[in-house]
Each structure stands twice: as structure tokens, then as C-alpha cells.
Amino acid sequence: MKNKKRWLALGMAAVMTAGIMTGCGSSSGGSSDSDGGEGSVYYLNFKPEQDPQWQDLAKAYTEETGVEVTVVTAASGEYETTLMSEMGKSGAPTLFQVNGPVGLANWKDYCYDLSDSDVYKELTSEGHALKDGDAAAGIAYVVESYGIIVNTELLGEAGYKTEDIQSFEDLKKVSEDISSRSDELGFTAFTSAGMDGSSDWRFKTHLANLPIHFEYVDGGSAEAIEGTYLDNYREIWDLYINNSTCEPSELAAKTGDDSRNEFLNKEAVFFQNGSWEYSNLTEDGTFTDDNLAMIPIYFGAGEEAEQGLCTGTENFWCVNKEADEADIQATLDFMNWCVTSELGTKTMGEDMGFVIPFKKAIESSNLFVKQDAEMTADGKVPVAWDFSTIPSEEWKNGVGSALTAYAADQTDDNWKAVESAFVDGWAEEYALAHQE
Amino acid sequence: MEKALKRYAPIFVLPTFAAFVIGFIWPFVQGLYLSFCKFTTVDNASWVGISNYIAAIKDASFTSSFKFTVFFAVVSILSINIIAFMLATLLTQKLKGTNVFRTVFFMPNLIGGIVLGYIWQILINCLLSIIGQPILALNSTAGYWGLIILMCWQQIGYMMIIYIAGLQNVSDDLIEAAAIDGAGGWDVLWRIKIPMVMSSITICVFLTLTNSFKLFDQNLALTGGEPSHSTEMIALNIYQTFYARSGMQWKGYGQAKAVIFCVIVILISLIQLNATRSKEVQQ
């Protein structure tokens, strides 16, 4: 009798414990451990802008093939942390992304070699693969462009055309003229160059690409950046912050949304951003293809007449090597379907507005992407995305801090701090990234 | 009955104990192990020995963030506890509306740290730009005091409730007897009330001490460590070590820092518990 009670109690305790554990377990989002054999896909998506389209595409794929596809999108700026915790779980993502060679350093042990896959053979050029030695660790799935987005209507009101801007000198002349007449015109040249975390990447990464790029063009290498073009960097930064919608000292707290809203409210003519902004600018009808354009970020370096938009990618698909055989196959099939099927290419090209570097890609409806193609056809040379060689996030943060401090107080000493963060910071971070 | 309870105690403890092992002991042991490894996720760790600890100690940003944390902790522990105690004394007097005030002071504690951080960032930036000072991202002094104000605002209410409970337990007989013996308000406070609420002080100092050292969300949201890491507290520094650079070794350094940090916090709080507990009196 006593023993029975004891066993009963033990049993109850076990049930309770089990209850606690399942309570924890059931919330994890993994799907790869569902009904075996078939395999399933778990895509950890990087781009919050395209989340709804990915969800729809996943649903359509499941309806067509019966293979389960889960798409989870990480919050903006939280991809690396989300990926790290998801990868540690059972039911880890089968499809994830890295941002280039630096990001790959974290994840190369998890990258399945894609060089024999069907989707790899669909790439328009091998240059779109991210190599780890001989293995294709990742493949680019979208090519994007950035530059200076122009409100052509306002530019016209100020008495200029986009064709008037063919060099940094032109850009400087036009924007300084507009900002000096801003009271009379009712708008100014540039939207706020916000240095809040939601916006500072436009300057500490995308704008910083130009001095890095032109140094590479001159034969510089990632091992030691010399800062040859930092004076140009300063000039364009001065132009951005002194001809803008707000006082330079307020930039530290301005966000990406602030900047976009200023552009949408027609408070400024120029907005440095990329092709991914197209749907944000056009979705409520404020802008159409008739009053938008994107021009290169003229920098006063190289052959400006032949400079194109900054075009490249930092979005590489990687397949998780640690996943089940069946899941890997399912993932490869899904990727291939996305870039070859009618629905897949249409969704990626039209709904997401991507240019995908695959043979069966359809023409994108994105104006900026079309302009990039036109410029390239006219013989202009796109500026490569050399910021993917930046040794670490820490470098970007250092440059960002220094730029913010300089914006608030534009002295030579403060610019020296930017130069030091740029050049010495690079050397330091490069050494740290390459130590063993 | 009691005997039976005792006999079954292990069974009753089992669910909680299992949860404790799974949720605390095991991750802790694993964390300790990982601090000797380089890794990307917990599954692909490879052993590197104590080199992580050497790198962590050599890291200048770790020591400077530690100093900043200590300065922050000292000032915030003192200000939170003193103000909370004063409020508690005030609100245990027989005044009208004390319940309303207690609720009002307690409320900030119900808002999450990240949200509070952003709200105060807007408030402080606004104030700074009105008085013509550089805003938070450029101003480490304002960042430091901003953090103190934010923590006071958030924690005073909670500590106040604990002190109120303590003060209400001080028996009126004692205070009356002291008054008859000729003790003034100040004497009553120092010789009767404070010794009698010493156990509340132990708890409150312990809570503010550990909270100050572990502070993360408020730091991240209010200043994010800007300008150039000068307002970065130790927890944020560990986080940055993990994510600001890529490569497996950085996760190991971060983990080693976390273990060092944990040991330091445990040591300091043990010392504090001993020190304040020895002053507690039995009623």
C-alpha cells in the first residue's frame, strides 16, 4: 500500500516535470523534425521589408509540392543574434544568409558546399558565389544598387534637371544653391543624415564604401587602408550635413524613418539610399516613376563621367550543412524553385522588387534597378560593394561615432578623429580579425 | 503527518529541482565549459584552454567598462536606497492619500527597461538641446547621469515598498518608549527605526547592487555605450564582444568575460550580505 502511494507520487511528479519541459519545448519554431522522409525547409530571412512576400511564396510552394516551408524573419539589425540562437536549437534553420566574407567567418563550418547544386548552375556568373576555398559556401540571391535618390519634381522647381548633375562639383553647386534658397523654395537639398542606429549604416558603411572603393581601384588592399580619399569623404559629408533639413548637432538622434518621412513629405530633394527603398517610396502613391530618379554618389574621384550606381550584394544564401539529408535536399529544391519557376521569379522580381542574378530572372519593376541597368548599358561602371571587406562591425561603429561627433562640431581635430577611426581603426580591426 | 511529509520531501521537490537543474545548473556548467572554448553555437565548441581569460583580462575596453560600472553602481545604490527610505518614512506617516502616492511611485517599475531607456533618451535629448548641450550620443557625462536618473526613477518605488513593509513592522511601543525616554525624531530614526529595518536594508542593497552590475537593457536603449564606448557597462561590453566582430574566438572571449563578471558579482554581493546582515537585530 505504502509503496503504491510512493510510486503514484513519483509518477505524478514525473508528469509534472514532463509538463514543464514540454511547455518549454513546444514554443521553438523549428519544423525540420516534422514527418520524416519528405524533408522540410526553415528559412531564416534577413530582409524584414520582404517578409510578407516570402510568407506567401512559402505557402504557394507548400500547396504546389506538399513540402513544408517555414519562413521566420529576424528583426531589423538582429539577424546575427537570432541566427546564433536558432542554430543552437534542434530544428535549426536549413536556409540562412551571411553578408559576405566577414560574415562567413562566423558560419563557414555550417555552410553546405553548393557547387554541385542545381541552383548554383542557374547563377548568371560564378562571381555571384561566395567562395570558401574551393567550396561555394553561399550564393547571392539579390543584387542591389544604392545612390542618391532624387525627387525630380522638386529639383525641377529649383530650376535643375538630373542631367545637370554629372560630378561632385555639380552636386555641390546644385545642393548649396537649393539650401541657400530653402526659405523661398520651401524645401532643402538633403534629408537628415541621421546617425541613429536605424540610419547610420547609410554613412558609416554605404558612404564609406566610396573612399574604400577608390583606394582599391588605385591598387590599395584590405590589409592596410591609407585613407587617400578621406578628404573627398569629408567634403561630401559636409555637404550632406550642412545642407539638410536639420541642424548638424541634432543628427545623432535622427532615425531612418525621420529621413524617409522628410523625403516623402517633400522637405528635401536628395535622399541617400538604395533600390530596396523603392516600395516604401511608391506604395502610398506619393512617388511614381515620373518624379523619382537615382543618381550616382559623385565623390570627386576617378572618372566621374563614367561612374555608375553602387551595385552589389551583401545577401548570400547558405544551406545548413548540419541539417538532415532530406531537409538539405528539400531546401536546395526550394531555392531552385524560387529562382526558376514562373511564380518564384515573378514574386522575387516584381513583388519583392529584386534583381536576382539567375538565368531565368524576369525584369524587375523597380525603377532604380532599371536605371542601374540603363547606366551600365550606357557604359557607366558600377561602383562595387567593397564595404563587404570592412573587417568588423566594430570598425563601422568607431567611424560612425567619430562622424557623429564631427557633425556636431565641425573642427579639424574632430575630422582627425574620423581619419584615425578610419585608418588606424582599420589596421587594428584587421589585425584582430586575422589573429589566430 | 510531519514525518510523512519529510519522507516524501524529495518527491515534492523533484519538479522544481529538475527545472532548476535544466534551467540554471546545466546552462551554468555549459557556460563555464564554453568559456574555455571557441565556438559559434553551443554545439560546435572546440577547446582552447585559458587563452580566452588572458585575452579578456588584457582587453582595455573590459577594464574601462568595469570601472564605469563600479562608479555607476556606487552612486545608484546610495541614491536609490536613500531616496527610497526617505519616501518610505514619509509615506508611513499618517498623511492623506499615502496609498495613491505609493502606487504612483511604484508604477515606473512596471515598465520594461528598453521602453524606459528610449523614453528617457527622448526626454533627456530634448532637455539637452534646449539648454544647448551636446545630446546623449555625444555626451558621456549626460549619459552617466541619465543612467543614474533612469535607474532611480525605475527602482525607487520598488525599494520603497520593501522599506514601507519594514517600517510598518517597527512596533509603536518601542517608539513610544523611546519618546518617553526623551528621544527626538532623529534619535528614533537612527537608534530605533534603522536598526529595526536592517533586514530590509540588506535586501534592498542586495537588489540594487546586483541590478546595477547586471544593468543591460537600459544601458543599451539609453546610450548604447556612445560616445565611443565611454558609457558602456560591463554587460553591454560582453554583448559587444560577442557580436561586434566575426570569428569564433570572440564568442569565447565574451564567454570568459561573462564568467569573470559572474564571479565578481557573486563575491561582491556575498561581502555585502555579510556586512549588512551582521548589523541586523532580532525583534
Looking at chain B, the whole-number percentage of residues with pLDDT higher than 70 is 99
Within-domain flag for B43: no
Instruction: List CB contacts (< 8 A) between B221 and chain A.
Output: none
Q: What is the pLDDT of residue A2?
A: 56
Helix (H/G/I), strand (E/B), else coil: A36 = coil
For B239, the closest chain A residue by CA position comes to A81
Give chain A's contact residues with B (Cβ, < 8 Å): 6, 9-10, 13-14, 16-17, 20-21, 80-81, 84, 87-88, 102-103, 105-107, 109-110, 195, 197, 249-250, 252-253, 322, 391-394, 397-398, 401-402, 404-405, 408-409, 429, 432-433, 435
Within-domain flag for B32: no
Within-domain flag for B85: yes
Q: What is the pLDDT of residue B16?
A: 93
Within-domain flag for B16: no
Q: pLDDT, tens digit, for every residue of A102-120? A: 888 888 888 888 888 888 8
Give the mean pLDDT of B171-198: 83
Among B161, B123, B124, residue whose Cα is nearest residue B139: B124
| Dihedral pair phi/psi, residue A272, rounded to 5° | -75, 115
- pLDDT at residue B86 tops 80: yes
CA distance, residue A88 to nearest chain B CA (Å): 5
Among A66, A77, A142, A135, residue whose Cα is nearest residue A104: A135
Q: pLDDT, tens digit, for every residue of B202-246? A: 889 999 999 999 899 888 888 888 787 888 999 999 998 888 777
A250 confidence band (pLDDT: 50, 70, 90):
confident
Looking at chain A, the whole-number percentage of residues with pLDDT higher than 90 is 8
Distance CA B125, CA B118 (A): 10
Give the mean pLDDT of A176-203: 87
Does residue A272 contact residue A134 with C-beta atoms inside 8 Å? no
Q: What is the pLDDT of residue A16?
A: 58
Cβ count within 10 A of residue A92:
23
Number of domains comprising chain B: 1
Q: What is the pLDDT of residue A290?
A: 86
**Residue B201 belongs to a domain with what CATH number?**
1.10.3720.10
For A81, the closest chain B residue by CA position comes to B243
Chain A interface, best mutation among B3, B59, B228, B230, by max A CB count within 10 A: B228
- pLDDT at residue B167 tops 50: yes
Size of interface A-B (CB pairs under 8 A): 95
Within-domain flag for B143: yes
H/E stretch holding A195 reads none
Give the mean pLDDT of B59-87: 91
Across chain B, what does the average pLDDT equal? 86
Q: What is the pLDDT of residue B208?
A: 93
Comparison of pLDDT for B110 and A35, the residue scoring more = B110
Give the mean pLDDT of B109-115: 85
Yes or no, beta carbons of B243 and A80 under 8 Å apart = yes
Instruction: List CB contacts (< 8 A) between A195 and chain B.
Output: 137
Within-domain flag for B46: no
Q: What is the pLDDT of residue A3?
A: 65
What's chain A's length in residues? 436
Chain A interface, best mutation among B12, B41, B230, by max A CB count within 10 A: B41
For A253, the closest chain B residue by CA position comes to B137
Among A91, A209, A233, residue whose Cα is nearest residue A147: A209
Give per-residue burial for B190-206: e unless 16+ CB within 10 Å, then b: eebbbebbbbbbbbbbb
Q: pLDDT, tens digit, for every residue of B243-267? A: 877 777 788 888 899 999 999 999 9
CA distance, residue A80 to nearest chain B CA (Å): 8
Angle (CA) B112-B118-B119 rounded to 5° is 85
- pLDDT at residue A47 tops 80: yes
B162 confidence band (pLDDT: 50, 70, 90):
very high
- pLDDT at residue A23 tops 60: no
Cβ-nearest to A253 among B19, B22, B137: B137
Helices (H), B131-188: 140-169, 172-180, 185-187
Domain that holds residue B270: 59-277
- pLDDT at residue B188 tops 90: no
Ordered domains of chain A (ranges, CATH): 35-143+313-359 (3.40.190.10), 146-310+386-433 (3.40.190.10)
Yes or no, beta carbons of A250 and B134 under 8 Å apart = no
- pLDDT at residue A264 tops 70: yes
- pLDDT at residue A436 tops 70: no
Give the mean pLDDT of B91-103: 84
Within-domain flag for B188: yes
Does residue B246 contact residue A105 with C-beta atoms inside 8 Å? yes
CA distance, residue B212 to nearest chain A CA (Å): 24
Q: pLDDT, tens digit, for every residue of A208-236? A: 998 998 888 888 888 888 888 888 889 89
Within-domain flag for B9: no
Radius of gyration of chain B measured on its C-alpha atoms = 23
For A106, the closest chain B residue by CA position comes to B247
Give the mean pLDDT of A373-381: 86
Does residue A324 contact residue A42 with C-beta atoms inside 8 Å? no
Cβ-nearest to A106 among B40, B125, B138: B40
- pLDDT at residue A17 tops 70: no
Evaluated on CA atoms B198, B204, B208, B211, the torsion sign reads positive
ipTM of the complex: 0.75
- Residue partners of A187: CB distance under 8 A and separation at least 6: A154, A178, A266, A267, A268, A269
Cβ-nearest to B245 among A84, A87, A392: A392
Chain A interface, best mutation among B245, B248, B250, B253, by max A CB count within 10 A: B245
**Residue B49: left (phi > 0), alpha (psi -120 to 50), or beta?**
left
Looking at chain A, the whole-number percentage of residues with pLDDT higher than 70 is 91
- pLDDT at residue A8 tops 80: no
Cβ count within 10 A of residue B1:
5
Chain B interface, best mutation among A404, A426, A432, by max B CB count within 10 A: A404
Across chain A, what does the average pLDDT equal? 84
Yes or no, beta carbons of B19 and A197 under 8 Å apart = no
For B39, the closest chain A residue by CA position comes to A106
A33 confidence band (pLDDT: 50, 70, 90):
very low
Yes or no, beta carbons of A404 and B137 under 8 Å apart = yes
A124 confidence band (pLDDT: 50, 70, 90):
confident
Give the mean pLDDT of A71-85: 84
Instruction: List CB contacts (< 8 A) between B136 and chain A.
Output: 252-253
Q: pLDDT, tens digit, for every residue of A190-206? A: 998 888 878 888 899 99
B169 confidence band (pLDDT: 50, 70, 90):
confident
What predicted TM-score, i.e. pTM, was given to this entire model? 0.79
Give the mean pLDDT of A305-320: 88
Q: What is the pLDDT of residue A29?
A: 39
Yes or no, beta carbons of A110 and B40 under 8 Å apart = yes
